[in-house]
Structure 1
Amino acid sequence: MDEGFWGRRSGGGGGAAGWEGERGSKEDEACTLKETSEEDSISSEKCDEEESEAEEERDYEDAFGQNGLCALARLAKVAEPPSKRPSCLRCRRPLKVCLCPFLPAKPLTVSSHIYILQHPAEESRVLRTVPLLAACLPRDHCSVLVGRRFPEDKYPELARVCRSPSTLLLFPGRHARKLSVGVCPDPNLAPFSLLLLDGTWRQAHNLYEGNPLLQIPQQVRLQAEECSSYVIRTQPSQTCLSTLESAACALALLEGQPQLREVLLQPLHALCSFQIQYGAQPHDSKEQLLNSGRYNKPWPRNKRKLRRLLELRY
């Protein structure tokens, strides 16, 4: 009885094992079918791609002919992007119009440190003055930071500089003090750090408004005495200066060395001379164009831009 019982149990166990084997075979069949369907799908996709490529080739052949299609294929193989002209490593200008002969033989000796906050749009311009300024000064006395926002956590050194009482921001704000001969900051605070904003007037204004670090009390502006020599770009008014010109005037005053101004401006004069020699036209300021009736661009519809433009008249 017991044997029969255990025998039936054993037989039952064998039945279970047989059922497991049957289920395994069904699963294998399902996997095989799934793999087969996947392979069919992949092969179908490949066929579709091949058919679409063949259709594209036929379209090109209909449009250009067999000979034209071969010519296009040859051009695609041999065509290469145009190579850039070799540039001077110091002045960053093409070798044909290198400005190094107009730069000082060695970096100028200055105690002040210049920090230039440059708008990203200015970095891609061809006729820039910041590389010329950097080429005239020692590397450890001229730093260029490119961006729109300069948060304190990402620019700790800039934050430290902005908090220093010997740091000056050259920006014509409402509370900026005049920086001219006889009107200079306390010499006991020297050496000074000078912050400059590089870009168009609108870009410089956005840099100032968008960075709380720049809201410092030590703001200075230059006395407008001469017109800008940067005549190959249109300035808002006759007294607006380029970044290089502003730095040259400010450094000459802070360092007490008037000759620094002419030394720093010499490569700018050469740059403008080269450009005019190769066909560039001198630009009058917007102020001159408006007052002489030669401003032929459409008037802006934006009220704020229109107001700024009207402020340049007379």
Structure 2
Amino acid sequence: MSRPACARCQRPLSLCLCALIPALASRTRVLLLQHPSERRHPLNTARLVALGLSNAQLEIGETFADLPLWLADHDAWLLFPGPEALTVNLVPPPAKIESKRLLVIPDGTWRKARLLLHANPLLAALPRLTLPPGAPSRYRVRKAPAPDALSTVEAVVAALNALEAPRRFDALLAPFEALIDGQIAAMGPETFARNHGGPEQRD
């Protein structure tokens, strides 16, 4: 029998993160397009973004028929690397453009995110943004293709911190840190050290 879960954060009641989830406003609208395989994943950080950011929208699917509607009347950018991607700190601030800024983020493994782009040509056609090199991800319990590959919540925080500086959105990371600490505690120090290189290391 599964443990009772919080209806809001969907974590077991004993591990509820709601007290740590902030209520932040942003000028930039954030649209999270989540591959269905991530919906029930215990490390679902896109949901933390949607709960902690009032101007965020989380949609789940492989194709999105309403994508033209969501993009309409917005200055839309796709946060995803590519040869033509512009570093996020080089984008003009929202105050200097007439239309609303929209940051679109595919959520899933790198393979699943690429599948979302392939299945949604309008998404793939958006101008792209990429993050500048930064600190390694704190996502210590999930495999990543490179040390600087970030979780969705980390990527959103880094992007918004650049787009809306000097405002900061680091409070979104509080439930994420608690989520990771809880996963490490649940697996035990020996298992964590064996699979992830120890308490102070990453893959």
Give the TM-score category using the shorter length: 0.7 to 0.9
Alpha carbon RMSD of aligned pairs, Å? Answer: 2.0
Pick aligned residue for 2:112 from 203, 208, 221: 203
Question: How does 1:59-74 map onto structure 2 within 5 Å?
Answer: none
Tell me the equivalent position of 2:15.
97
TM-score after normalising by structure 1: 0.57
Aligned twin of 2:187? 279
Q: Which runs of 5+ in 1 are unaligned?
A: 1-81, 290-314
User: What amino acid maps onto 1:245 in structure 2?
Assistant: E
Correspondence for 1:36: none
Distance in 2 between residues matched to 1:103 and 1:163, nearest whole Å = 29
Select 1:240's aligned residue among 129, 149, 155: 149
Query: Whole-Å Cα distance in 2 between the matches of residues 237 and 176 of structure 1?
Result: 18
1:149 aligns with 2:58: no
**Structure 2 residue aligned with 1:304:** none
Report whether the alignment pairs 1:85 with 2:3. yes
Mapping 1:294-313, distance limit 5 Å: none
Between Structure 1 and Structure 2, how many residues are aligned?
A: 192
| Percent of aligned pairs with the same amino acid | 35
Match of 1:251 among 160, 165, 173: 160
Q: What's the CA shift string for 1:51-104, capped at 9, x where partnerless?
A: xxxxxxxxxxxxxxxxxxxxxxxxxxxxxxx2x312223322111111123222
Structure 1 segment 1-314 matched on structure 2, within 5 A: 82=1, 84-104=2-22, 107-138=23-54, 141-150=55-64, 154-155=65-66, 158-162=67-71, 164=73, 166-180=75-89, 183-187=90-94, 188-189=96-97, 191-260=100-169, 262-280=170-188, 281=192, 283=196
Describe the shift of the 1:267–1:257 C-alpha distance in structure 2 as closer, same or farther (beyond 3 A): farther
Structure 1 residue ranges, 4+ long, deviating more than 4 angstroms after superposition:
none
Residues 160 and 168 of structure 2 are in contact (CA less than 8 Å); yes or no, is this contact kept in structure 1?
no
Paired amino acid for 1:196: I
Distance 1:245 1:236 in 2: 16
Q: Following TM superposition, by how much is the alpha carbon of 1:191 offset from its aligned partner in structure 2, in angstroms?
A: 3.3
Letter in 2 for 1:98: C
Q: Which has the higher strand share?
A: 2
What residue is the counterpart of 1:308 in the other structure?
Answer: none
- Give the Cα–Cα distance (whole angstroms) in 2 for the partners of residues 254 and 206 of structure 1: 27
SS of aligned partner of 1:278:
helix
Gaps of at least 5 residues in structure 2 are none
Q: Aligned letter for 1:249?
A: A
Partner AA of 2:61 in structure 1: G
| Kept after mapping to 2: 8 A contact 1:170/1:221 | yes
Q: CA deviation at 1:215?
A: 2.9
Q: What is the identity, as a one-letter code, of the residue corresponding to 1:149?
A: T
| Bigger proportion of residues as helix | 1
Residues 162 and 214 in structure 1, CA contact (< 8 A), matched pair in contact too: no
For 1:258 and 1:109, locate their aligned partners in 2 and report how far apart those are by CA, in whole Å: 10
- Partner Cα distance (1:217, 1:240) in 2: 21
TM-score by length of 2: 0.85
Question: How far 1:163 sits from its partner (Å)?
Answer: 5.4
Q: Kindly indicate whether structure 1 or structure 2 has the higher relative contact order, using CA contacts under 8 Å at least 6 residues apart.
A: 2
Give the letter aligned to residue 91 of structure 2.
C
Contact 1:198 1:204 in 2 (8 A): yes
Matched residue type, 1:119: H
Deviation digits for residues 11-30 of structure 1 (CA, Å, limit 9, x no counterpart) = xxxxxxxxxxxxxxxxxxxx
- Taking the aligned partners of 1:92 and 1:159, their CA distance within structure 2 comes to 30
